[in-house]
């Protein structure tokens, strides 16, 4: 199986490196400056078990050649449009496996490429890029959730699962992948909404007098949106989600808060804004979500004003 991964950032770089480590045929499609950096320093993955350094195959948009079987997309939501333009020039009709939060990207890709080519996945990995471009793994429990959305995708999904099963991350082949995406989105929107609104870790939030109530209210809103959108979240999934969100003393924060603190672009529109849009379209309560979205919108406007000064 020939795999092309768009980007070699914190998510794509990590999973790609781990697949190369077990013999997978992986090439990274990157920008020219990233290609030069990878040729100079290699792809470096820093984990609690040590450092992995690889010299992966890379191409740029202008040097694409040959067919591939699977294209994996791992961009931030604000780079999604650019990633789609790249996919349009890839030869043949490879299957497409996007790892983005939310659900809107699937509908956009279905319209452009046909649902029969568009699989779905969710990345459960905590990584970040260091100043020198290395990928630093922050937690030791990564997993790779994906699945077929069309009968034509079942064989490649099974082959990918077999390949990933020998890697350093857990491979989960979901038979209900769109439900799984809603399950994750509800947790992520709550985590991002609460930690950015309060500018604190979940442990600090839930240690406050009304912190648990505030968190459960926002999560209930997200679950209500999923329910009215046709993707009811099961009791077991809810219980697991709340056990993570409400864990006493937890240092858990959303990557959105880290980006916010660094005055960088965030995915607030894709994670919070889209959830509010869905809530409005199906008539689900979303007061807490609107508060979180609004404060992020204000801060994003302020970030843009500073850039223009």
Residue 309 has pLDDT above 60, yes or no: no
Fold assignment, 179-308: 1.10.1040
Average pLDDT, the chain: 94
Confidence (pLDDT) at 307: 62
Phi/psi of residue 283, nearest 5 degrees: 75, 35
For residue 139 the two structure tokens come to 């937690």
pLDDT band at 146 (very low <50, low <70, confident <90, very high): very high
Fold assignment, 2-175: Rossmann fold (3.40.50)
Confidence (pLDDT) at 111: 97
Confidence (pLDDT) at 308: 57
Q: How many CB atoms lie within 10 A of CB 53?
A: 12
Confidence (pLDDT) at 24: 96
| Structural domain boundaries in the chain | 2-175, 179-308
Q: Which is higher by pLDDT, 139 or 34?
A: 34
Phi/psi of residue 97, nearest 5 degrees: -125, 95
Confidence (pTM): 0.91
- Render 219-239 in DSSP notation, one character per residue: HHHHHHHHHHTT-PPPHHHHH
> How far is Cα 87 from Cα 5, in angstroms, rounded to an integer?
11
Residue 268 has pLDDT above 60, yes or no: yes
Confidence (pLDDT) at 125: 87
Confidence (pLDDT) at 49: 86
H-assigned helices in the chain: 12-21, 32-41, 80-88, 104-113, 154-164, 177-198, 202-206, 211-228, 235-245, 255-261, 268, 274-282, 287-308
Q: What is the mean pLDDT of residues 199-221?
A: 98
Q: Which is higher by pLDDT, 91 or 309?
A: 91
Helix, strand, coil percentages for the chain (3-state, nearest 5):
50, 15, 30
Confidence (pLDDT) at 225: 98
pLDDT band at 129 (very low <50, low <70, confident <90, very high): confident
Lowest mean pLDDT among 75-79, 151-155, 290-294: 75-79
Residue 288 has pLDDT above 70, yes or no: yes
Q: Are 254 and 192 in contact (CB under 8 A)?
A: yes
pLDDT digit string (tens) for 174-204? 999 999 999 999 999 999 999 999 999 999 9
Q: CA 234 from chain center: how many Å?
A: 22
**Cross-strand partners of 52:** 45
Residue 303 has pLDDT above 80, yes or no: no
């Amino acid at each position: 199986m020939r795999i092309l991964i768009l980007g070699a950032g914190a998510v794509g770089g990590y999973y790609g490196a781990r697949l190369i480590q077990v013999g997978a045929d992986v090439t990274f499609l990157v920008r020219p400056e990233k290609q030069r950096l990878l040729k100079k320093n290699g792809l470096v993955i820093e984990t609690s078990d040590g450092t992995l350094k690889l010299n992966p195959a890379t191409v740029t948009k202008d040097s694409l050649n040959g067919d591939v079987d699977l294209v994996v997309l791992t961009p931030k939501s604000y780079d999604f449009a650019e990633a789609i333009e790249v996919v349009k020039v890839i030869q043949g009709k490879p299957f497409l496996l996007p790892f983005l939060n939310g659900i809107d990207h699937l509908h956009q890709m279905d319209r452009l490429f046909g649902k029969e080519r568009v699989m779905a996945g969710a990345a459960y990995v905590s990584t970040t890029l260091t100043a020198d471009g290395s990928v630093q793994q922050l937690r030791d429990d990564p997993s790779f959730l994906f699945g077929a959305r069309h009968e034509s995708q079942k064989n490649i999904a099974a082959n990918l699962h077999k390949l990933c099963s020998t890697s350093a991350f857990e491979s989960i082949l979901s038979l209900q992948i769109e439900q799984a995406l809603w399950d994750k989105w509800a947790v992520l929107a709550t985590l991002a909404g609460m930690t950015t609104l309060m500018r604190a870790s979940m442990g600090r939030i839930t240690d406050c007098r009304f912190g648990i109530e505030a968190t459960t209210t926002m999560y209930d809103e997200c679950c209500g949106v999923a329910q009215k959108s046709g993707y009811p979240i099961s009791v077991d999934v809810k219980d697991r989600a709340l056990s993570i969100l409400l864990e006493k003393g937890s240092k858990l924060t959303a990557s959105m808060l880290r980006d916010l603190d660094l005055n960088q672009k965030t995915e607030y529109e894709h994670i919070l804004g889209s959830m509010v849009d869905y809530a409005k379209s199906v008539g689900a309560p979303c007061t807490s979500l609107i508060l979180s979205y609004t404060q992020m919108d204000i801060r994003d406007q302020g970030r843009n004003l500073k850039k223009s000064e």
